[in-house]
């Protein structure tokens, strides 16, 4: 089962990604990334104006791509489906706009697997996300991967909804 | 029942080396704790005993060990007489916790004098229920060492069955009790001993989304407990080397999951591989000369073997997918491991050189974390079929028996004699984890007392 609530929000923004079709596992590489609104790094000039997150922080990345920082997987799977592809395309556009930013993809699993296998599975998921980003133009030199297996859940219940949220690959900006 | 010759040799037991700890090389403050109280109620009060005793459990009385003279000893603040009581209490707890005996401890028994140890006062014992009697003595030698004598008698036959003596440093007095327990267990069951052994595991604290996971070690009965790492880096899946000189485990100390070899004497840690790929699932060869590890390269995980002294690693699997774990048969010729090359986690056996890989699990669920029994005749594994349970099967995958019924029981590890399996159990929702053990028949399931939550038990062999 997919955790779909957050994905619905993603798809609302990325309407062009919907055109890929529900069955598409990978977006054709020649397709341009969907248009998204990326905040610029221009700092506020007014003395009393709000100062937003700066480039090179996770906050800036999250503000720019929303829930697209993270993609989700089916049980025991590591493939990039069309929803994942749309989120990664959003990420790729951000990374194209801010070439100075490097990042880590953290691979995770749900708790319903044995510990060692889950470390290997999380590694596979992180690499799936990385490979997709590289295939659409992000330099592999900017991407680090790490698997936490089932050791770092974000949803703490033991039910299908929580497990779906935990089967994920999350992109995290490497702060300098 | 196996016939054993009576042994009267004095076995010298070396002092346990001091343990040092490090996360990122920092020394561990002295926070070693001893959790198992050596009294009659110890262990039992904090455990959940699920299994039922069999009707033919042997009644055995363990009397307080008599001091030659009651003198001061570093092993007990109250002297050698009090130490003798403690020795008998440790033996009583050991024998109670495996379901084969009905032991009666020293606190409700007459206390024989030193002169009675070799020649029991039969009249005192024949009037009681016990079929077997354990007596012993403690002697503080002038060189500072302790001598502990251990005697087993058949009360009905009024006969000595076996005896042994041990020379120990006072800090190691518990080893004498474990050796004596092993002597009694082996003589009365015909099985190999297992009490004089240690367990490495992962101590867990903190909330489910921020668990602190530390490397920890303890004796087989939970005593002499120590945390070896501080917890600043997540530690997982420890394995004692066969000679207890090293522990291999996975640590995130550099931010990535990687296997380290931790030398207990020096406190030095070395990486198993010099490259930057993630490594996991460390395993020792039975002779301790080589190790198995799994390494992920671009998301694909395979099993490798390398000499414990380093050098070039040999890749043993090459299928796309996750090949991990690896547990040697006791003769070192074969390896059982897990692979999802078929689409789901299943157990496979290969020759030690990687040849002749063949799937052995076909029961409809998933097969994970296989561990070859020290006796060679069984493989324990995590059986995933809805819930996670501990099960055993033959090395060809037959005769599967499910031994536990928790919601999530995983990662079996064998007692040195192959008769008992420990594993860890995770509680639904809370994520709390604890160590449990069950015998090969599925009986006598009990929780092991640990100071905090615990996972990934790894039972070492009989101590050298």
Per-residue model confidence as pLDDT tens digits over B134-148: 999 999 999 999 999
Count CB atoms within 10 A of the CB of residue A150.
Answer: 23
Q: Mind listing the pLDDT tens digit for each residue in B163-176?
A: 999 999 999 999 99
Within a domain: residue A38?
no
**Residue A37 has what pLDDT?**
56
Tell whether B217 and B181 lie within a shared domain: no
Torsion of CA B143, B144, B146, B147, to 10 degrees: 10
pLDDT band for position B85 (50/70/90)?
Answer: very high
**Residue B438 has what pLDDT?**
96
CB nearest B429 (choices: A124, A154, A157) = A157
Residue ranges of B 441-460 with Cβ closer than 8 A to chain A: 455-456
Q: How far apart are CA B267 and CA B273, in angstroms?
A: 19
Chain B positions touching A151 (Cβ under 8 A) are 211, 213, 234, 236
Count CB atoms within 10 A of the CB of residue B13.
Answer: 21
Last residue of a domain, one of B136, B169, B189: B189
Full domain range(s) for residue B366: 198-459
Residue-wise DSSP of B255-270: SS-EEEEEETTT--EE
Residue ranges of B 398-417 with Cβ closer than 8 A to chain A: 408, 410-411
Domain at A99, CATH number? 3.30.1330.60
Within a domain: residue A164?
yes
- Displacement of CA B29 from its chain's centroid (Å): 25
Chain B positions touching A147 (Cβ under 8 A) are 257, 278, 296
Q: How far apart are CA A42 and CA A54, in angstroms?
A: 9
Question: Does any CB of chain A come closer than 8 Å to the CB of residue B432?
Answer: no
**Residue B274 has what pLDDT?**
80
Task: Judge whether residue B459 has pLDDT over 90.
Answer: yes
Q: Which residues pair with A105 in a beta bridge?
A: A145, A171
Within a domain: residue B4?
no
**8 Å CB contact of A116 and B296:** no
Within a domain: residue A122?
yes
Q: How far apart are CA A127 and CA A134, in angstroms?
A: 10
Q: Mind listing the pLDDT tens digit for each residue in A108-158?
A: 999 999 999 999 999 999 999 999 999 999 999 999 999 999 999 999 999
- CB-count exposure of residue A149 (10 Å: 0-12, 13-18, 19+): buried
Chain B positions touching A128 (Cβ under 8 A) are 299
- CB-count exposure of residue B391 (10 Å: 0-12, 13-18, 19+): buried
**8 Å CB contact of A76 and B300:** no
Chain A positions touching B298 (Cβ under 8 A) are 127, 131
**Residue A175 has what pLDDT?**
83
Size of interface A-B (CB pairs under 8 A): 91
Tell me if ipTM is over 0.90: no
Q: How far apart are CA A25 and CA B449, in angstroms?
A: 49
CA proximity to B239, closest of B319, B302, B321, B294: B294
Tell whether B122 and B203 lie within a shared domain: no
CA proximity to B313, closest of B300, B304, B322: B304
Are the CB atoms for B430 and B208 separated by under 8 Å? yes
Domain at B51, CATH number? 3.40.50.10070
Task: Count CA within 13 A, CB hemisphere, residue B435.
Answer: 30
Task: Judge whether residue B13 has pLDDT over 70.
Answer: no
**Residue A155 has what pLDDT?**
97
More reliable by pLDDT, B151 or B97? B151
- Strand B58-62 to B101-104 pairing: parallel
**8 Å CB contact of A114 and B296:** no
Q: What is the mean pLDDT of residues B424-440?
A: 96
Q: Kindly identify which residue of chain B lies nearest to residue A163, measuring between CA atoms.
A: B429
Task: Judge whether residue B334 has pLDDT over 80.
Answer: yes
Q: Of the given ranges (B52-56, B178-182, B270-274), which has the lowest mean pLDDT?
A: B52-56
- CB-count exposure of residue B103 (10 Å: 0-12, 13-18, 19+): buried
Tell whether B146 and B275 lie within a shared domain: no
Chain A positions touching B299 (Cβ under 8 A) are 78, 123-124, 126-128, 131
More reliable by pLDDT, B103 or B40? B103
pLDDT band for position A51 (50/70/90)?
Answer: confident
Question: Does any CB of chain A come closer than 8 Å to the CB of residue B236?
Answer: yes
Within a domain: residue B17?
no
Question: Does any CB of chain A come closer than 8 Å to the CB of residue B29?
Answer: no
Within a domain: residue A35?
no
Tell whether B409 and B367 lie within a shared domain: yes
Tell me how far apart the terminal alpha carbons of chain A are, to the nearest angstrom: 37
Task: Judge whether residue B15 has pLDDT over 60.
Answer: no
**8 Å CB contact of A120 and B280:** yes
Mutate: best of B214, B237, B253, B257, partner A, most A CBs <10 A = B257
Tell whether B294 and B245 lie within a shared domain: yes
Full domain range(s) for residue A96: 5-20+55-173
Q: Please work out, in degrees rounded to the nearest 5, the angle formed at the alpha carbon of residue A2 by the alpha carbons of A17 and B344.
A: 115
Q: B202-233 burial, b if ≥16 CB within 10 A, otherwise e?
A: bbbeeebeebbbbbbbbbbbbbbbbbbbbbeb
Chain A positions touching B257 (Cβ under 8 A) are 119, 146-147, 149
Q: How far apart are CA B129 and CA B345, in angstroms?
A: 52
Domain at B387, CATH number? 2.120.10.30
Mutate: best of B209, B256, B296, partner A, most A CBs <10 A = B296
Q: What is the mean pLDDT of residues B105-118?
A: 96
Within a domain: residue A125?
yes
Q: How far apart are CA B404 and CA B383, in angstroms?
A: 10
Within a domain: residue B450?
yes
Task: Judge whether residue A68 has pLDDT over 90.
Answer: yes
C-alpha distances in angstroms, A56 versus A60, A175, B195?
Answer: 7, 6, 56
Within a domain: residue A93?
yes
Number of domains in chain A: 1
**8 Å CB contact of B301 and A147:** no
**Residue B143 has what pLDDT?**
95
Tell me the torsion sign for CA atoms B321, B327, B328, B334.
negative
Within a domain: residue B12?
no
**8 Å CB contact of B429 and A123:** no
- Displacement of CA A130 from its chain's centroid (Å): 10
Question: Does any CB of chain A come closer than 8 Å to the CB of residue B346?
Answer: no
- In A, what residues contact B, Cβ < 8 A? 76, 78, 111-117, 119-121, 123-124, 126-128, 131, 146-147, 149, 151-154, 156-158
Q: Mind listing the pLDDT tens digit for each residue in A5-50?
A: 444 433 333 333 333 333 333 333 444 444 555 555 444 444 455 6
Number of domains in chain B: 2
Tell whether B324 and B351 lie within a shared domain: yes
Q: How far apart are CA B29 and CA B8, in angstroms?
A: 41
Are the CB atoms for B292 and B304 separated by under 8 Å? yes
Within a domain: residue A37?
no
Q: Tell me, what DSSP letter sits at residue B292? A: E
Mean pLDDT, all residues of chain B: 88
DSSP SS3 for B351: strand
Within a domain: residue B2?
no
Q: Kindly identify which residue of chain B lies nearest to residue A158, measuring between CA atoms.
A: B429
Chain A positions touching B384 (Cβ under 8 A) are 113-114
Tell whether B379 and B275 lie within a shared domain: yes
**8 Å CB contact of A119 and B250:** yes
Contacts of B286 by beta carbon, 8 Å cutoff, 6+ apart: B242, B328, B330, B331, B332
Last residue of a domain, one of B139, B157, B189: B189
**8 Å CB contact of B322 and A78:** no
Within a domain: residue B397?
yes
Question: Does any CB of chain A come closer than 8 Å to the CB of residue B431?
Answer: yes
Tell whether B107 and B215 lie within a shared domain: no
**Residue A36 has what pLDDT?**
55
Residue-wise DSSP of B390-430: EEEE-TTS-S-EE----SEEEEEEE-TTSSEEEEEEE-TTT
Within a domain: residue B309?
yes
Mutate: best of A116, A125, A158, partner B, most B CBs <10 A = A116
Tell whether B147 and B289 lie within a shared domain: no
Within a domain: residue B9?
no
Tell whether B102 and B211 lie within a shared domain: no
Within a domain: residue A161?
yes
Last residue of a domain, one of B136, B157, B189: B189
DSSP SS3 for B48: coil
């Amino acid at each position: 089962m997919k955790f779909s609530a957050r994905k619905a929000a993603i798809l609302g923004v990325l309407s062009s990604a919907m055109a890929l079709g529900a069955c598409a596992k990978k977006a054709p590489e020649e397709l341009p990334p969907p248009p998204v609104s990326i905040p610029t790094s221009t700092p506020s000039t007014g003395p009393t104006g709000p100062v937003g997150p700066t480039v090179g922080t996770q906050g800036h990345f999250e503000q720019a791509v929303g829930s697209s920082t993270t993609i989700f997987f089916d049980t025991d799977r590591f493939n990039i489906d069309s929803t994942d592809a749309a989120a990664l395309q959003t990420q790729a556009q951000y990374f194209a706009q801010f070439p100075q930013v490097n990042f880590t993809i953290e691979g995770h699993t749900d708790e319903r697997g044995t510990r060692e296998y889950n470390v290997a599975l999380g590694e596979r998921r992180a690499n799936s996300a990385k490979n997709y980003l590289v295939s659409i133009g992000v330099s592999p030199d900017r991407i680090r991967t790490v698997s936490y297996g089932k050791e770092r859940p974000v949803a703490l219940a033991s039910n299908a909804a929580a497990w779906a949220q935990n089967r994920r690959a999350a992109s995290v900006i490497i702060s300098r | 029942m196996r016939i054993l010759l009576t042994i009267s040799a004095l076995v010298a037991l070396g002092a346990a080396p001091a343990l040092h700890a490090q996360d990122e090389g920092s020394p561990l403050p002295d926070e070693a704790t001893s959790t198992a109280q050596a009294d009659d109620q110890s262990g039992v009060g904090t455990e959940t005993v699920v299994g039922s005793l069999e009707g033919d459990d042997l009644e055995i009385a363990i009397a307080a060990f008599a001091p030659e003279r009651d003198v001061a000893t570093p092993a007990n603040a109250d002297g050698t007489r009090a130490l003798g009581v403690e020795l008998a209490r440790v033996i009583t707890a050991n024998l109670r916790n495996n379901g084969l005996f009905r032991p009666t401890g020293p606190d409700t028994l007459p206390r024989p004098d030193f002169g009675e140890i070799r020649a029991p006062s039969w009249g005192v014992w024949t009037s009681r229920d016990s079929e077997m009697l354990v007596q012993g003595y403690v002697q503080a030698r002038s060189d500072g060492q302790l001598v502990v004598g251990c005697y087993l008698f058949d009360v009905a036959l009024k006969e000595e069955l076996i005896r042994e003596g041990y020379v120990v440093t006072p800090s190691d007095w518990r080893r004498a009790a474990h050796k004596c327990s092993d002597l009694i267990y082996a003589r009365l069951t015909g099985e190999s001993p297992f009490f004089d052994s240690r367990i490495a595991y992962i101590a867990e604290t903190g909330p489910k989304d921020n668990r602190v996971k530390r490397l920890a070690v303890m004796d087989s009965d939970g005593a002499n407990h120590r945390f070896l790492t501080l917890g600043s880096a997540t530690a997982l899946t420890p394995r004692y080397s066969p000679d207890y000189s090293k522990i291999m485990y996975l640590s995130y100390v550099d931010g990535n999951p990687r296997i380290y070899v931790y030398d207990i004497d020096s406190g030095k840690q070395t990486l198993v591989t010099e490259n930057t790929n993630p490594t996991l699932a460390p395993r020792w060869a039975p002779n301790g000369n080589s190790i198995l590890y799994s390494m992920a390269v671009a998301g694909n995980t395979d099993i490798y073997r390398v000499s414990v002294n380093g050098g070039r690693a040999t890749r043993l699997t090459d299928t796309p997918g996750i090949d991990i774990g690896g547990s040697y048969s006791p003769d070192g010729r074969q390896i059982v491991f897990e692979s999802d090359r078929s689409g789901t986690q299943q157990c496979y056996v290969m020759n030690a050189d990687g040849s002749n890989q063949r799937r052995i699990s076909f029961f409809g669920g998933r097969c994970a974390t296989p561990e070859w029994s020290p006796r060679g005749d069984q493989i324990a594994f995590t059986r995933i079929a809805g819930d996670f349970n501990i099960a055993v099967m033959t090395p060809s995958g037959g005769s599967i028996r499910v031994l536990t019924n928790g919601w999530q029981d995983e990662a079996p590890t064998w007692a040195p004699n192959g008769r008992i399996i420990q594993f860890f159990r995770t509680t639904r929702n809370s994520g709390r984890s604890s160590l449990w053990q069950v015998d090969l028949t599925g009986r006598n399931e009990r929780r092991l007392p640990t100071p905090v939550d615990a996972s990934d038990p790894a039972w070492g062999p009989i101590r050298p």
